[in-house]
Structure 1
Amino acid sequence: VARCPRLTKIRGPQIRNLLEAKDFILFDCDGVIWHGETAITGAAKVVSSLIRHGKNVVFVTNNCTRPRENYVHKFYRLGFTDVMLEQIFSSSYCSALYLRDVVKIRGQVFVMGCDGLRRELQGGGRPLRGGGGRDVKAVLVGHDDKLTFLKLAKASCYLRDPDCLFLATDNDPWHPLSGGRILPGSGSLTAALEVSSGRKATVIGKPSRFMFECISSQFSGVEPAQCLMIGDRLETDMLFGSNCGFDTMLTLTGVSQLEEAQEYRDSELAANHSLVPDYVVDSIADFLPAFEELDDEQSN
């Protein structure tokens, strides 16, 4: 049964009712709980309150530039003191799981990506290929701020072998910087390689369902109906939630704004309706009054 996109702005008691109905809360990171090195006001308190109220909180991020250990340090540095390694699902970690557990790669992986992605793959026991070599069985594209034409050429050559897998950590086209500037994302590098190789990449991160399969493999009894996905980007976070059968919530502290969601809702194209959130909040700080009400009830 197709769900009607709701696009409902909710607050206070409605947020409380929604949270009471969900066991798993999935957060995107950039634009939802922090901007760069600054936590969004109230976000740390929201996360610790959710954990204190017995919710399973997980973080699903397409940012592949740092290994999970570094994420734990960042959470702690920004005041999120009760976030554990097991709660973090990055596109680099999920790529390592995909190579190890799904395709069970036997051979080397050529990585177009940064050191954080390499470290995560090496932690998963993947032999990486920096230069030449005949034993490359997969090309993995991520965010690469040291991209060279030579890397692109090598990757294109490896992909001429139809048995060589073509994977991308994520398909994000760009990321916002301060002052309205942008940084090209992994999706732009993947697009270049898709053109040169004439092949399409398998995307591991959001909006692919594989990230949910990673979570399901590590948390028992995860039911989509019990999940709420909270993100700031319609084309990744909301589509991911829709692909997995979750309720979705857009927070307006990041990339996408309400007007874009309304355009997708009113679109003639049925595919665009999967990008429409069920709920909208200005910021996840809007959750705080809901916890105050819950705490008042529990103390009475």
Structure 2
Amino acid sequence: MSTTYLKSLSDEQIREFLDSFDTILTDCDGVLWLNVQKLFKTSDVLNTFRSLGKKIFFVTNNSLQTTKQFVEKCKNMGFIAEEEDMLCTSLLVATYLKELNFKKKVYIVGSEGIAKELAAVGIESFGWGPDVLNDISEVPKIKRDPEVGAVIIAFDEHLSYLKMVKAATYLRDENCLFIATNMDENFPGEVFMYPGTGAFVRFVETCVDRKPIILGKPEPYMSSIIKKTYNVDPKRTLMIGDRANTDILLGTRCGFKTLLVLSGVTSLKDLETWKNSDVPEEKEWLPDFYTDQLGDLLPFLEKYKAEKST
């Protein structure tokens, strides 16, 4: 599989690349921003794409906020965005359970964002927020809610042993749904390594000897919602991401063109390793194109737009 550095392309090849798609699906964390810091010229790039008639959709495995909150964050950073443009895993959870006509309660190892999206579709939930154990002898005193019919594992900055106990206990009932928003392993920082949702899920998997239904990238449910909601033409769609085994793999599986930015999780060293790998799955992580950061596209876009206007 060919993986091309965008800056190595000729002007004609850049025009061909920009002409090859009408729809853009972009990840957020590591592509557009890092936490609350917008990355270089990212809003300028996406807004210029919009001015050229490209459709833009934000597709993230982040479940910390609701769709409305993500859109507000986008707008505060200068991105043009509306709720119908945003697909986050907090919304996916609510959509999935609504499709099942789910009527029970949900225990959340995750954020208030999931709870709010569930409440919006009439599903009661609890569990988010701090919940700690002072002594393991207190465990037998825990009151279990017999109405719980699903456990959601997502990113939870308040993860605790007590939450894991409760999640595993509810999941002893085989009729209780085991759902994970995503399997992102970690979020590397300059100094610290931050465990991601995938690490939390593995804890529970090991304990209960069950596999979850995974909703986010690169799994089939996310793919099906994208195709159904956005009615995209795979051959005319570009997927932009910073994590190869979620963003790029989703694009590969869906038949989209793929662009990896090196401003987040995946590194150039990773790409070189996978190019020389004999593992078939790792070949699927290789993007069609890569660049250092999304802002690299701005000069190409400005030139392309000027040519279109003449």
- Return the alpha-carbon distance in structure 2 between the equivalents of residues 48 and 213 of structure 1: 26
- Return the alpha-carbon distance in structure 1 between the equivalents of residues 170 and 14 of structure 2: 50
**Alpha-carbon contact 2:66-2:113 (below 8 Å) kept:** yes
- Return the alpha-carbon distance in structure 1 between the equivalents of residues 184 and 4 of structure 2: 26
Give the letter aligned to residue 118 of structure 1: A
The reply on whether 1:115 has 2:112 as its aligned counterpart is yes
Scaled by the length of structure 2, the TM-score of the pair is 0.89
SS at match of 1:75: helix
Give 2:66's aligned residue. Answer: 67
**Alpha-carbon contact 1:16-1:291 (below 8 Å) kept:** no
Q: Deviations over 1:183-223 (max 9, x none)?
A: 21111111110011100111111111322322222223x12
Q: CA deviation at 1:13?
A: 4.3
**Alpha-carbon contact 1:60-1:211 (below 8 Å) kept:** no
How many percent of aligned residue pairs carry the same amino acid?
Answer: 34
Larger Rg: 2
**Alpha-carbon contact 1:208-1:243 (below 8 Å) kept:** no
Q: Deviations over 1:2-51 (max 9, x none)?
A: xxx21111235434322211121111111111112221111111111111
- Return the alpha-carbon distance in structure 1 between the equivalents of residues 95 and 36 of structure 2: 28
Give 2:132's aligned residue. Answer: none
Which of 266, 274, 288 aligns to 1:278? It is 288
Give 1:215's aligned residue. Answer: 226
The reply on whether 1:127 has 2:124 as its aligned counterpart is yes
Alignment of 1:137-216 (within 5 A): 137-177=149-189, 179-216=190-227
Alignment of 1:231-250 (within 5 A): 231-250=241-260
The reply on whether 1:267 has 2:266 as its aligned counterpart is no
Give 1:7's aligned residue. Answer: 3
Give the letter aligned to residue 206 of structure 1: K
Alignment of 1:14-93 (within 5 A): 14-80=13-79, 82-93=80-91
Give 1:224's aligned residue. Answer: 234
- Return the alpha-carbon distance in structure 2 between the equivalents of residues 73 and 157 of structure 1: 37
- Return the alpha-carbon distance in structure 1 between the equivalents of residues 161 and 39 of structure 2: 38
Q: CA deviation at 1:280?
A: 0.8
Give the letter aligned to residue 178 of structure 2: F
Give the letter aligned to residue 230 of structure 2: F
Q: CA deviation at 1:299?
A: 2.6
- Return the alpha-carbon distance in structure 2 between the equivalents of residues 291 and 124 of structure 1: 40
- Return the alpha-carbon distance in structure 1 between the equivalents of residues 155 and 114 of structure 2: 9
Runs of 4+ off more than 4 Å: none
Give 1:289's aligned residue. Answer: 299
Give the letter aligned to residue 187 of structure 1: G
SS at match of 1:17: helix
**Alpha-carbon contact 1:139-1:155 (below 8 Å) kept:** yes
Q: CA deviation at 1:98?
A: 1.1
Any unmatched runs of 5+ in structure 1? none
Distance change in 2, residues 1:128/1:36 (3 Å): same
Q: CA deviation at 1:293?
A: 2.3
Between the two proteins, the alignment pairs up a number of residues equal to 292
Q: Deviations over 1:239-258 (max 9, x none)?
A: 11122221211111111111
Scaled by the length of structure 1, the TM-score of the pair is 0.92
**Alpha-carbon contact 1:95-1:204 (below 8 Å) kept:** yes
- Return the alpha-carbon distance in structure 2 between the equivalents of residues 159 and 19 of structure 1: 48
Q: Deviations over 1:42-85 (max 9, x none)?
A: 111111111111111111111111111111111122121x2111
Structure 1, 116-125 or 91-100: larger mean CA deviation: 116-125
Give the letter aligned to residue 58 of structure 2: F
- Return the alpha-carbon distance in structure 2 between the equivalents of residues 15 and 57 of structure 1: 19
Any unmatched runs of 5+ in structure 2? 128-142
- Return the alpha-carbon distance in structure 2 between the equivalents of residues 219 and 62 of structure 1: 17
Give the letter aligned to residue 73 of structure 2: K
SS at match of 1:180: coil
- Return the alpha-carbon distance in structure 1 between the equivalents of residues 236 and 291 of structure 2: 19
Give the letter aligned to residue 306 of structure 2: D
- Return the alpha-carbon distance in structure 2 between the equivalents of residues 104 and 16 of structure 1: 47
